[in-house]
Amino acid sequence: MIDATAKSEREAFRVVTLAKADKDVAEQRALAEIAGAKASEVRYEKDADGQRKLNEAENMRNTSNRRSAIYENLVKNLPSIIRETVKPIENIESIKILQVDGVPGINSPSETISSPEQEGGGGNMTDKIVSSAMKYRTQMAFVDGLMKELGLPLENIGSAGGMSFRNFPSDDKKQGKDGE
């Protein structure tokens, strides 16, 4: 019985000691949290005070100083701005440049711009009709080739909207009509 009593007293002492240690740890953690909160409060107050002083200084600047700061910031960020701007270009597989100088009606230096001030408005009605027809015939092949190169053949353009584009019939269509 003495042995059992001693054993239970030792166990009770151990439990009480562990409880006191847990209590001390909890109190220390609470004190640490309070100290952290006070440190954060001081830091936030200092940050707010610093920001307020920066705002007051900014308000005292004139327009040219502000513009200079904007340009300076732009120059500092220019590499990242350019990097982000050219990202869509990474997906381009090829680029084709077509120069069409000399094709009548498209930036042709051989044509003159007619104006109402010119006598006759740049020619008589027959000349205008012939000129328009020639422009159409020379541009048609160019536009057809360009549209096919882009993957947009002219015969498919107007079909969705109920419109149909009629070009001059191709040779095989002419033969089909003649043979019927």
Taking only the tens place, the pLDDT of each residue in 72-127 is 998 899 888 888 888 877 777 776 766 666 555 555 444 555 544 444 455 677 77
The larger pLDDT score, comparing residue 132 to residue 10, is at 10
Closest of 139, 82, 154 to residue 108, by C-alpha: 139
| Distance in angstroms (rounded) separating the CA atoms of residues 166 and 143 | 14
The structure tokens 């498919």 sit at 156
Non-local CB neighbours of 93 within 8 Å, separated by 6+ positions? none
- 71 pLDDT higher than 80: yes
- 44 pLDDT higher than 90: yes
The structure tokens 């015969």 sit at 155
Specify the amino acid at residue 115.
S
The larger pLDDT score, comparing residue 146 to residue 82, is at 82
Is this structure's pTM higher than 0.85?
Answer: no
Non-local CB neighbours of 134 within 8 Å, separated by 6+ positions? 104
What average pLDDT does the segment 134-151 reach?
73
Which pLDDT value is given to residue 170? 53
Taking only the tens place, the pLDDT of each residue in 3-38 is 889 999 999 999 999 999 999 999 999 999 999 999
- Judge contact between 101 and 108, C-beta under 8 A: yes
| Distance in angstroms (rounded) separating the CA atoms of residues 85 and 80 | 8
- 163 pLDDT higher than 70: no
- 180 pLDDT higher than 50: no
HSE (side-chain half, CA atoms, 13 Å) at 143: 13
HSE (side-chain half, CA atoms, 13 Å) at 52: 6
